[in-house]
Homo-oligomer: A and B are copies of this chain.
Amino acid sequence: MELTGKKFVLLVETQFNDHEFWYPYFRLKEAGAQVVVVSGKAGQSYEGKYGTPAKSEKAPADIKVADFAGIIVPGGYAPDHMRRDQNTVSLVRAFDQQGKIVAAICHAGWVLVSAGILKGRTVTSFFAIKEDLINAGAKWQDHEVVIDKNMITSRTPDDLPAFMRAIIEAGKA
């Protein structure tokens, strides 16, 4: 399996987009990777926008970034909650600073804005938050997936196949 031995953080918060959380969750496991679900508070239960339940296993302080291949930020309205937690925001920034995969889909770009890691980066997102990303210094493109070095971004749940193809490919490196 192409990601055997690799570890990924998958962020969660209330009102996550169910598809954008669960598709990466199962897909990384199918590829042999370990998935650690993280939110501001370890052991907390959350409900997706459609009602699927998910529970965090760890808090940001429990994560040693060097041990991980990347972090994945799902969309929905969860990113609006994730960005309120400074430890979560700092964790995303640390992944970027260490050149690890930082993958964000849909509204997840908001977390990248708060992390202050978008200056000069080429990205995409759900179209409604396009201006927020541009105002944070990003170049915005309307593609199913945009890859800028370690940063991988997509627009909507329909882009999940391309999003995960890009993450798997980057994770193999």
Kindly provide the distance from the CB of A57 to the nearest chain B CB, expressed in whole angstroms.
Answer: 15
Whole-angstrom distance between the alpha carbons of A163 and B106 in the complex? 28
Q: Is A51 an interface residue (CB 8 A)?
A: yes
Copies in the complex: 2
Q: Is A160 an interface residue (CB 8 A)?
A: yes
A18-30 interface code vs B (CB 8 A; 1 in, 0 out): 1100110011011
Contact: B165 with A50, CB < 8 Å?
no
Contact: A18 with B165, CB < 8 Å?
no
Among all A-B residue pairs, the 8 with the closest Cβ atoms: A30-B161, A51-B51, A29-B161, A50-B52, A50-B51, A23-B26, A26-B160, A30-B164
Binding site for B on A (CB under 8 A): 1, 18-19, 22-23, 26-27, 29-30, 48, 50-53, 160-162, 164-165
A-B contact pairs, 11 of them (CB 8 A): A18-B50, A19-B22, A19-B26, A23-B23, A26-B160, A48-B50, A50-B51, A50-B52, A50-B53, A51-B51, A52-B52
10 more A-B residue pairs beyond the given contacts A22-B23, A23-B26, A29-B160, with a C-beta to C-beta distance below 8 A? A1-B165, A18-B50, A19-B52, A23-B27, A26-B161, A27-B30, A30-B160, A30-B164, A50-B50, A52-B52
